[in-house]
Amino acid sequence: MNKFQRALFSKTCASVFAVLAALAPLFFYASRSNQHVFLDIALFPGFSQMLFWLIAANAVVATAWAALAFKKRDLFDSHPGAMTAAYAITDFFTAVFCILNIVLLISGGEETAPVVLRGAAGLAPYALLYFAIVFFALFFPEIKHKIARVAIVSLVGVALVLGAVLTVYSPAVYGFVSDPMVLDTGSDYSIVFATTDEGTGFVEYEYEGETYRVYDQKQGKIESDSRVHSVRVPYEHLDNNSYTVGSMQVYEPYAYGSRSGKTIVSEEYAFTPCDGETQTWLCVSDWHTRNDLAKDAIAFLGDYDGVILLGDASPDLGTEDELVRYLVEFGGDLGGGTMPIVYTRGNHETRGAYAPYLADALGLDEFYFEVKAGDYRFVVLDSGEDKEDSHPEYGGLADFGAYRAENVDWVETLTEDGKTIALCHSPRFFIEEDLTDRTIAALTGIKTSAALTGHWHYCDLDTETYPGLPVFIDGGHKDGAFVASRVTLSPGGIALFACDDGGAAMMDETLPWLN
């Protein structure tokens, strides 16, 4: 054997490559929701699935080579050429798959990487199980020292018991993730809050001498399999009133009974509606997981009375956890449970396995509706996705064309009703030109004075594209910087002010009302 072969066949080298090869399918699988479709688009449908099984097979082969390095070293002397080829090919593929995983992680950008890494962490028990099986099948019998054997068996026993207990009981202290969001649904308020684990949700308040406890429930059955809770409360019950939110942790709802934990109740929140002659609304769009960076810009905007979220909280809603982290927690932090929030869905909230449940989770009937704020009115529109439904990125799971048409049918039913502003994620409203034309005609017909939008990740005021309807593009995250804005409504006009996370002003304009 030459020097290269000795290194290649060494127990250390074989073990390292076996571990890397075993971790490769885990990381590749963790990136499936965000990245695999791009491999399939570049090559052919099904390529990513085929590649996953190749990566998994490579892990098994690399494990077998590690076992040989420990147990059958005479093979290296008797067949050095064949063994060199076998080891070199496997190690080469292992290196390629590891590099591929790193490329997938980096190419997803800073907002996707944490999602992929959390997905990989969730798969860690499978990797541990694989390593345990390999260890006990191949290497444990080689350990002759009795104390070492007893210590290993004891450690594994403790780990198994601990794992079983943690599976049955959550280790986290049950609590609220943030203050609640009070969403204006157009017909009442939806108080939305998240807990650290699954459980029930309820809101308590007093109104006209009566005590109310309103649950997050469906036709009488209280929901308990979610971390996000939403409770609808009539406007008059909440306006200028105080309330608390509460939750009972539920480990498992049985058909008969349930296994539940403790019940928690929040501090009291004093809610003030936006109904004054002058109202200042905080506008935030396209924060794309950058909650803290957005807050840096928001800190320069001063006090506000309400919050307008213009969508694109995260790259997608693959899990409920992403909804909690990037929308519910963020909105709760900004509104503090004491002021109304108007939410406009971004195209990235239409993506991912959890996306179809977003409206239900937030307690919204629809993503297009109108909101009255004193003398002012917001017409909320939902631009849906920004590509054709047939685009391969949607995997046959998009039907936004028909949905956008419903949006437009609805906006055409609206009538003139005071000082009106449209809210829409996309500054171009809908990808279908005819639908956008109808929308602009309908909005200008009811004397809509401006549209507040996002999506483009820069701040601008477009007064030319749609004559009679100025379109404000709010800002959002771009290249590590953030622009947020505030919109002050008063009889004198619509004052737009935007600044970045360093406090530099990006916009300072006032638009007139059309009526």
Find, among 172, 179, 218, 178, the residue nearest to 197 by Cα: 172
Rank residues 91 and 286 by Cβ distance to Fe ion and give the closer one. 286
Pick one of 288, 404, 419, 455: the residue that binds Fe ion (CB under 5 A).
455
Please give the Cα distance from 297 to 140 (Å, whole number). 57
Q: Among residues 199 and 346, whose Cβ is nearest to Fe ion?
A: 346
Render 213-241 in DSSP notation, one character per residue. EEE-EETTEEP-SEEEEEEEE-HHHHTTE
Total residues belonging to the chain: 515
CB 346, min distance to Fe ion, A: 5
Q: Which stretch binds Fe ion (CB under 5 A): 144-152, 165-173, 347-355, 459-467?
A: 347-355
**Between residues 351 and 455, which has the closer beta carbon with respect to Fe ion?**
455
C-alpha span between 201 and 191 (Å, rounded)? 10
Local structure of 54: helix, strand or coil = helix
Dihedral (CA of 361, 362, 363, 365) sign: negative
Instruction: Specify the stretch interacting with Fe ion by CB under 5 A; choose among 87-95, 343-351, 437-445, 473-481.
Output: 343-351
383 binds Fe ion (CB under 5 A): no
Q: By C-beta, is 195 or 314 nearer to Fe ion?
A: 314
Window contacting Fe ion (CB under 5 A); options: 123-131, 181-189, 259-267, 344-352: 344-352
Nearer to Fe ion, 312 or 382 (CB): 312
Query: Least distance in Å: CB of 454 to Fe ion?
Result: 7
Q: Determine the residue type at 72.
A: K
The window from 192-200, 342-350, 400-408, 496-504 that contacts Fe ion (CB under 5 A) reads 342-350
CB 404 to Fe ion: min, Å: 15
CB 352 within 8 A of CB 364: no
Which one of 154-162, 241-249, 270-278, 450-458 is the stretch in contact with Fe ion (CB under 5 A)? 450-458
- Residue 347 beta carbon to Fe ion: minimum distance, rounded to whole angstroms: 4
Report the C-alpha gap between 199 and 251 in whole angstroms: 7
Nearer to Fe ion by C-beta: 19 or 323? 323
Judged by CB under 5 A, which of 223, 312, 382, 474 binds Fe ion? 312
**Structure token digits, residue 398:** 């998009």
Q: How far is the CB of 418 from Fe ion (least distance, A)?
A: 29
Residue 465 CA to residue 314 CA, distance in Å, equals: 28
Residues of span 86-105 touching Fe ion by CB under 5 A? none
Stretch that binds Fe ion, among 62-70, 239-247, 346-354, 404-412 (CB under 5 A): 346-354
Neighbours of 353 (CB within 10 A): 13
SS3 track for 396-464: CCCCHHHHHHHHHHHHCCCCCCCEEEEECCCCCCCCCHHHHHHHHHHHHHCCEEEEEECCCCCCEEECC
Cβ-proximal residue to Fe ion, closest one? 455
- Least separation in angstroms between residue 463's CB and Fe ion is 22
* DSSP code for 301: G
Distance between CA atoms of residues 424 and 379, nearest Å? 8
Q: Which residues pair with 204 in a beta bridge?
A: 213, 244
Stretch that binds Fe ion, among 312-320, 328-336, 368-376, 411-419 (CB under 5 A): 312-320
Residue-wise over 17-37: b if at least 16 C-beta within 10 A, else e?
A: bbbbbbbbbbbbbbbbbbbbb
Residue 428 Cβ, how far from Fe ion at the closest point, in Å? 11
Interatomic CA distance for residues 188 and 369, integer angstroms: 11
247 or 350: CB nearest Fe ion: 350
Closest distance of CB 474 from Fe ion, Å: 11
Residues 196-255, interacting with Fe ion (CB under 5 A): none
Closer to Fe ion by Cβ: residue 200 or 344: 344
> Which one among 190, 347, 436, 449 touches Fe ion, defined by CB under 5 A?
347
CB of 426 to Fe ion, least distance (A): 7
Report in angstroms how near the CB of residue 309 gets to Fe ion at its nearest. 12
- Taking the complex as a whole, how short is the minimal distance between the CB of residue 311 and Fe ion, in angstroms? 6
B/e letters for 67-86, b = 16+ CB within 10 Å, e = fewer, are bbbeeeeeebeeeeeebbeb
Full DSSP string of 180-197: PEEEE-SSSEEEEEEEEE
The site that binds Fe ion (CB under 5 A) totals a number of residues, namely 4
Stretch that binds Fe ion, among 98-106, 152-160, 173-181, 453-461 (CB under 5 A): 453-461
Q: Distance (Å, rounded) from C-alpha 59 to C-alpha 50?
A: 15
Q: Measured from the CB of residue 101, what is the shortest distance to Fe ion in angstroms?
A: 27
Cβ distance to Fe ion smaller for residue 91 or 312: 312
In the complex with Fe ion, which residue's Cβ is closer, 200 or 439? 439
Question: Where does this chain bind Fe ion (CB under 5 A)?
Answer: 312, 346-347, 455
